[in-house]
Amino acid sequence: MFLTIFNNPLPVAELVDKTTEWLTKTFSGLFGLVQDLGNAVMNVMTDTLLFFPPIFVIVLLTGLAYLLSRKKTPKAFGLALFTFIGLLFIDNQELWVDLMNTLSLVVVASILSVIIGIPLGIWMAKSNRVQQIVNPILDFMQTMPAFVYLIPAVAFFGIGMVPGVFASIIFALPPTVRFTNLGIREVPRDLVEASESFGSTGQQKLFKVELPLAKDTIVAGVSQTIMLALSMVVTGSMIGAPGLGRGVLSALQKADIGSGFVNGLSLVILAIIIDRMMQLVNVKSQNPLPPLLKKALSGLALVLLLLPSFASFFGNSKAAKKDTINLAYVQWDSEIASTNVLAEVLRQEGFEVEMTPLDNAVVWKSLADGSMDTSMSAWLPVTHGDLFAEYKGKLEDLGPNLEGVALGLAVPTYMAVDSIEDLTSQADSAITGIEPGAGIMASTDNALSAYANLSSWTLEPASTGAMVTALDKAIKGQEDIVITAWSPHWMFAKYDLKYLEDPQKVFGDGENIHTLTRQGLAEDKPEAFQIIDQFYWTKEDMEAVMLDIADGMSEEEAARKWIKANPNKVAEWTKS
Amino acid sequence: MEKLEIKQLTKIFGKRQKQALKMVKEGASKTDILKKTGATVGVYDANFSVKEGEIFVIMGLSGSGKSTLIRLLNRLIEPSSGDIYINGQDIAKMNKEELREVRRHSINMVFQNFALLPHKTILENTEFGLELRGVPKEERQKLAEKALENSDLLAFKDQYPSQLSGGMQQRVGLARALANDPEILLMDEAFSALDPLIRKEMQDELLDLQERVQKTIIFITHDLNEALRIGDRIALMKDGKIIQIGTGEEILTNPANDFVREFVEDVDRSKVLTAQNIMIKPLTTNLDIDGPKVALNRMRNESVSMLMAVNRKRQLQGVVTADQALEAARHHRTLTEVVTKDVITIAKDTLVTDILPLIHDSSSPIAVVDDNDRLAGVIIRGRVLEALAKDTD
C-alpha cells in the first residue's frame, strides 16, 4: 500500500492545475476587474510620463537627483550628472517609450509591494505566530524561480502590464516584509517600555515610536524590493509586459548581442538612478531647502498630479481614430516579418496597433481568453497541433496566410547524412533546439521516440537566437550540428543547409501558417477583421522581409519597404 | 490611606509555574527551581505599602527581582498573582483602558538608560507623555518647557538626545516624567548609568525636587549608599523575595539575617579590620615630574590642602602641603626641596585598633605602604572613627 506511492508519481501537477483553473473560473469577475483597473492606472501613468517631451522629464529627474544629493553634501553633482547623461543616452537610443513603460511597471509594482508589505511586516512583528507562518512562505516566494509566477499570472490576468506587476509583486514583496518585521523587532526594548509606561495605545506606539525608529531598515527593504521588481521586468516581458525587458528578450531570441547590450545597459542606468536616490532619501537633511524653492517644487508636484487628467483628456481626443488592434506574435523571424507587415498595413489604414511579443503557448492562451485580437503565427496541422486541440472552439482559425512551409531537422551540407534514419552519434547525439514551448520541439520529441536510431539522442532546448548562434559557430568550425529548422527562414539564405528526409512524416507533410483571431473579432472590429482575414502572401515575400531584417534593417522599415514594393498585394488585403 | 499598597505580589516567568510556585513556598532557591522546572521566579510574595510623598527604595543585587517588581507596579510585566492598590484601586484587576488611564495620569517611570526617543528633540521627548494623553500642542509645550526650565535644560530644547551628556539625558527623562505630573514616580536604577560625580549631583537634585513637588517615589538601586542617601524607607530583595523593610537606620542596626548584614557591610569585625579595609585612594604628586604649580593645581581641583609625594615608582617620599608648594613656587624651588619627609607609614595588615593612637598624634594622613615601599592608600581620621563606631554597636 505504502510502496505504491513510490511507484506512481503523486498527482501534484494535476492538483495545481485544477486549483488554478478553479480559481480562474471562480474569481474571473474579480480578476477581470483588477485587470481592467490595473491597465487603466498603468495607461494613465505611462501616458502622463510620455505626455512630456523626454528632455523635460530628464531635466526634472536630474533636478530631483541634485536636490537629494544636496541633502548629503551641498555641492554634489555626481548623481545629477549621471542621471542627466544616462537618460539622454537612453533617449538617444530611442528607448524612451520602453523606459517609461518599465518605470511605470516598477513604480506600480513597488508601491503595491509597499502597501501590502509594510502592514504584513508590522503584523509579523506584533505576533510570533504570524512570523512563524509567514517566514516559510516568504522563503518559498523568494526561492521559487520567477518564471513559475508567470503561468498563474497569465491564467488570472491575461497578458500585458497587469500580470507583469502581479509576478513582480510576488517576487519583490519579501524584502519589504522581512525588513519591516526586523526593523520593528529591533526597536530597543526600553523605548517600547517607555512609550507603554506613559500609556500609549498600540497605534500611538506604532506611529510615534516603532515606525520612526524602524524607518531606515524599512527603506532599505523597499530599495531591495524596487531592485527585484526591476529584475522581473525582463522575465515579465515574456507575458507581454512592455518596456526594456522586451528588447532584452528579443535580443536573446534573435541572438542580437548589440541591441541586448543597449537594452540591458538602459536597465542598469535606471537601476543605479533609483538605487542611489533611495539611499539618499534616507539621509537626514543637513541643508534644508530655501522656502521659495520649496514652494516652487510643491507647485510643480501639483501640476504633475493634475496633468494625468489632461493627458488622458488629450489621449481621448486622439483616440477618435479607428479601433486599436492587438497583435500577438512569437519572436521567430518568420512571425516578426508577417506581424510587422500586417501592423504597418493596418496603421496605414488608420488603425492603432499594439504589438505584443509573447511565448508561443501564451499567444494561444491570450487569443482564447480574448486579451489579444489576432496572431499570424499558427503552424498547422502538425507543429502546433496539440495547442490547436487544446484551444479548439475558443478561438477562430481564419485559414492559411502562407502555404507550403517546411520544417524538420536540418544539418550543414558538409555533413554526410541525408535522412533522419542515417543519424548515429553525430554532434554528440544532441539536437540543438529552440524555445521549449515551440511546436517544432514537440514534433522533435515525437521524432526521438518514433525513430529507433534516435533512442539515445537528446533534444537541447534554447532559444531561436541561441540556436542560430550555435549553428553559425558550428559552420565556422566545420563541426557537426543537427538543428530544428523551419522555412521560410533567412538561415537557409545565409548558410548551406539541407533538411534531413523524414520517411515517417513525423514533422508533417507540408505545413501552412494560419491566421488566428479571438472569438467575436468579426463583430467588434469588422473593418480590421476584413484585412486580417484577407492577409495572404508567399514564402518569397516573407523571406524578402526577413533578409532585410537579418541584414540590419529595422523591423518597421523592412515592412514598409516591402509594402511599397508590393502595392497590388496590399490592395488585395485592404479591399472591402 | 496608603498611596500604594502591594499584597502578595508574585511573578513567575516561563512554564510549569504551579510547580515553581510550590517550590518557592517550600523555600527552594532560584537556581534549583530553574533547574527543576525551567521557570524563573521574578518576584515572590511581595508585601509593602508606600505613603504619600515618601521615597521608597528597593535595593538588591542584580537578579534579585527588583526591576521585575517595579515593572509589576505599572503592569509593564503582568503579575502572576497578587494585588496592587493605588489610592485603594486595584491595578491588577483593571482592563486595558483603565490601566492606560492610570499610566497616563498617576504613575510614570524613569529608566536606567534614559529611554529617550532619538528621533525627537528634547522638547518633543519631554512632552511625550502629554502628547499621548492628547493634550493640545500649545498647552503641552508650555508644560514641557516649564519642566525643562526646572531642570535647567530649556536652552537645549531643540537639540536631540544624542547631543547631550548622560546626566543631561537623565534629567530629560526625569523632566519627561514630571511634566506629566504623576502621583507616583517609578525610578528604575535611574542613576546607575551615570558616573559617580554626576550621580551624586542627581541624587541631590532629586532630594531638592522632592522637597518642592512631594511625589511618591519608588526608587530602585543596587547601591547601598544611594539608598541610604535618598530613601525614607528601604526594602531589601534577594531571589525575588523581600528580606527586610525599614529605614536606613533600622536596616543598619537590626539586619534581619546574615544576608542583609553582609549586604550592608555591617562588619562587626573591627577586631580584624585592617588598614587596607578602611584606606582611601591617595591623592599624589610625582616629585620626579611635577613642579609646585602642578601640585597646587591638583590641590585646587581635588579641593584638598595636601598631597602625598611619591617618586616615579610610586614609592612614598613624604607630604606636600599647600603652603609648602606656594613657598616653592614663589622662590622657584622644586618640590623635593620643600617636601615634609616624616610621614607615619603602616603596613596593609595593621589593625584598626592599633591605628587609632597613631592618627591621634599625626596632623597629616597616615600612609599605607606595601612591601616595596609603594603607596597603596591613605588613612584619614574620619574612617577610623567610623570603623570603631560600628564596633561599639
Per-domain residue ranges for chain B? Answer: 52-117+183-267, 276-388
Q: How many domains are there within chain A?
A: 3
Closest CA to B102 of B128, B74, B129: B74
Considering the domain architecture, whether residues A203 and A240 belong to the same structural domain is answered as yes
Structural domain ending residue among the three candidates A276, A307, A338: A307
Q: What is the mean pLDDT of residues A207-233?
A: 91
With beta carbons under 8 A apart, name residues in chain A contacting B112.
190
Please determine, for residue B75, whether its predicted confidence score (pLDDT) is greater than 80.
yes
Residue A260 lies in a domain: yes
Residue B393: band (very low, low, confident or very high) from pLDDT cuts 50, 70, 90: very low
Written as nine digits, the cell of A503 is 520517411
d(CA A26, CA B193): 63
pLDDT on residue A288: 56
Q: Are B11 and B68 in contact (CB under 8 A)?
A: yes
H helix or E strand, kind and range, residue A5: helix A4-7
CB contact under 8 A, B109 and A213: no
Q: Is A166 left (phi over 0), alpha (psi -120 to 50) or beta?
A: alpha
Residue A7 lies in a domain: no
What phi and psi values does residue B294 have, to the nearest 5 degrees? -65, -40
A202 touches chain B (CB under 8 A): no
Considering the domain architecture, whether residues A195 and A215 belong to the same structural domain is answered as yes
Most confident region among A9-18, A214-223, A380-389 by mean pLDDT: A214-223
B179 touches chain A (CB under 8 A): no
* Binding-face residues of B in 270-329 toward A, CB within 8 A: none
d(CA A374, CA A525): 11
Considering the domain architecture, whether residues A518 and A468 belong to the same structural domain is answered as no
Residue A3 lies in a domain: no
Please determine, for residue A369, whether its predicted confidence score (pLDDT) is greater than 90.
no
Q: Which residue of A has its CA nearest to B117?
A: A191
With beta carbons under 8 A apart, name residues in chain A contacting B131.
208
Give residue A441's domain range.
Answer: 406-499
Higher pLDDT, A91 or A466: A91
Residue A330 lies in a domain: yes
Written as nine digits, the cell of A69 is 544629493
pLDDT on residue B265: 64
Separation in Å, CA A338 to CA A119, A407, A574, B218: 49, 18, 15, 87
d(CA A110, CA A278): 12
CB contact under 8 A, B108 and A197: yes
With beta carbons under 8 A apart, name residues in chain A contacting B109.
193-194, 197-198
Residue A554 lies in a domain: yes
Work out the end-to-end distance of chain A between its first and last CA atoms, rounded to an integer number of angstroms.
Answer: 68
Residue environment code for A24-56, b if the CB has 16+ CB neighbours within 10 A, otherwise e: beeeeeebeebbeebbebbbbbbbbbbbbebee
pLDDT on residue A319: 45
Considering the domain architecture, whether residues A494 and A452 belong to the same structural domain is answered as yes
Considering the domain architecture, whether residues A185 and A129 belong to the same structural domain is answered as yes
B155 touches chain A (CB under 8 A): no
* Alpha-carbon radius of gyration of chain A: 27
d(CA A60, CA A48): 14
Written as nine digits, the cell of B36 is 527543576
- Which residues, 6 or more positions from A276, have their beta carbon under 8 angstroms from its beta carbon? A65, A79, A82
- Which residues, 6 or more positions from B43, have their beta carbon under 8 angstroms from its beta carbon? B9, B10, B11, B65, B68, B69, B72, B240
Q: Is B11 left (phi over 0), alpha (psi -120 to 50) or beta?
A: beta
Closest CA to B76 of A11, A377, A501, A195: A195
Please determine, for residue B269, whether its predicted confidence score (pLDDT) is greater than 60.
no
pLDDT > 70: what percent of chain A?
A: 92
Q: Determine the distance in angstroms separating the CA of A203 from the nearest CA of chain B, rounded to an integer.
A: 10
Residue A88 lies in a domain: yes
Considering the domain architecture, whether residues A287 and A214 belong to the same structural domain is answered as yes
pLDDT on residue B253: 82
Residue B311: band (very low, low, confident or very high) from pLDDT cuts 50, 70, 90: confident
Residue B132: band (very low, low, confident or very high) from pLDDT cuts 50, 70, 90: very high
Residue B97 in 3-state DSSP? Answer: helix
Please determine, for residue A116, whether its predicted confidence score (pLDDT) is greater than 90.
yes
Q: Which residue of B has its CA nearest to A215?
A: B119
With beta carbons under 8 A apart, name residues in chain B contacting A188.
115
Please determine, for residue A313, whether its predicted confidence score (pLDDT) is greater than 60.
no
A199 touches chain B (CB under 8 A): yes
pLDDT on residue A318: 45
Question: For residue A379, what is the domain's CATH number?
Answer: 3.40.190.10
Please determine, for residue B391, whether its predicted confidence score (pLDDT) is greater than 60.
no
Strand partners, A517: A374, A396
Please determine, for residue A399, whether its predicted confidence score (pLDDT) is greater than 90.
no
Mean pLDDT of the residues in chain A: 85
Considering the domain architecture, whether residues A458 and A447 belong to the same structural domain is answered as yes
CA A103 to chain CA centroid, nearest Å: 14
Superfamily the domain B276-388 falls into: CBS-domain (3.10.580.10)
The DSSP symbol for A422 reads G
Q: What is chain A's length?
A: 576
d(CA B103, CA A196): 8
B103 touches chain A (CB under 8 A): yes
CA atoms within 13 A on the CB side of A310: 11
H helix or E strand, kind and range, residue B260: helix B258-263
Residue type, A342: L
Residue B268: band (very low, low, confident or very high) from pLDDT cuts 50, 70, 90: very low
pLDDT on residue B54: 93
A190 touches chain B (CB under 8 A): yes
d(CA A304, CA A316): 19
Considering the domain architecture, whether residues A484 and A535 belong to the same structural domain is answered as no
With beta carbons under 8 A apart, name residues in chain B contacting A191.
115, 117
Residue A87 in 3-state DSSP? Answer: helix
Residue B267: band (very low, low, confident or very high) from pLDDT cuts 50, 70, 90: very low
CB contact under 8 A, A194 and B111: yes
Residue B313: band (very low, low, confident or very high) from pLDDT cuts 50, 70, 90: confident
pLDDT > 90: what percent of chain A?
A: 22
pLDDT on residue B392: 46
CB contact under 8 A, B180 and A198: yes
d(CA B153, CA B156): 5
Work out the end-to-end distance of chain B between its first and last CA atoms, rounded to an integer number of angstroms.
Answer: 36
B108 touches chain A (CB under 8 A): yes
Q: Determine the distance in angstroms separating the CA of B191 from the nearest CA of chain A, rounded to an integer.
A: 15
Considering the domain architecture, whether residues A261 and A330 belong to the same structural domain is answered as no
Please determine, for residue A473, whether its predicted confidence score (pLDDT) is greater than 90.
no
Residue type, A530: Q
CB contact under 8 A, A198 and B108: yes
Please name the member of A190, A199, A212 whose beta carbon is closest to the beta carbon of B115: A190
Considering the domain architecture, whether residues A476 and A570 belong to the same structural domain is answered as no
pLDDT > 70: what percent of chain B?
A: 95
Considering the domain architecture, whether residues A400 and A421 belong to the same structural domain is answered as no
Question: For residue A429, what is the domain's CATH number?
Answer: 3.40.190.100
Among A285-294, A455-464, B208-217, where is mean pLDDT lowest?
A: A285-294
A186 touches chain B (CB under 8 A): no
**Fold adopted by B52-117+183-267:** Rossmann fold (3.40.50)
B366-369 vs B345-347, strand pairing mode: parallel
Residue A495 in 3-state DSSP? Answer: coil
The per-residue DSSP string of B230-253 comes to H-SEEEEEETTEEEEEE-HHHHHH
pLDDT on residue B266: 47
Question: For residue A156, what is the domain's CATH number?
Answer: 1.10.3720.10
- Which residues, 6 or more positions from B168, have their beta carbon under 8 angstroms from its beta carbon? B153, B156
Sign for the pseudo-dihedral over CA of B228, B229, B231, B232: positive
Q: What is the mean pLDDT of residues B87-108?
A: 92
Nearest 5°: the CA angle B260, B266, B267 is: 125
pLDDT on residue A164: 86
Among A463-467, A496-500, A512-516, where is mean pLDDT lowest?
A: A463-467
Q: What is the mean pLDDT of residues B223-246?
A: 89
Written as nine digits, the cell of B378 is 591613605
Closest CA to A546 of A494, A482, A485: A494
Q: Determine the distance in angstroms separating the CA of B196 from the nearest CA of chain A, rounded to an integer.
A: 23
CB contact under 8 A, A197 and B131: no
Q: What is chain B's length?
A: 393
pLDDT digits (tens, 9 = 90+) for A134-188: 999 999 988 888 888 887 888 788 777 888 888 889 889 999 999 999 999 999 9
pLDDT digits (tens, 9 = 90+) for A376-394: 888 888 888 888 888 888 8
Closest CA to B176 of B203, B204, B145: B145
Among A328-337, B194-203, B345-354, where is mean pLDDT lowest?
A: B345-354
Considering the domain architecture, whether residues A277 and A346 belong to the same structural domain is answered as no
d(CA A24, CA A16): 12
Nearest 5°: the CA angle B200, B206, B207 is: 95
d(CA A454, CA A391): 31
pLDDT digits (tens, 9 = 90+) for B39-71: 888 998 899 999 999 999 999 888 889 999 999
Residue A10 lies in a domain: no
Q: Determine the distance in angstroms separating the CA of B117 from the nearest CA of chain A, rounded to an integer.
A: 7
Residue A516 lies in a domain: yes
Residue A317: band (very low, low, confident or very high) from pLDDT cuts 50, 70, 90: very low
The DSSP symbol for A452 reads G
A188 touches chain B (CB under 8 A): yes
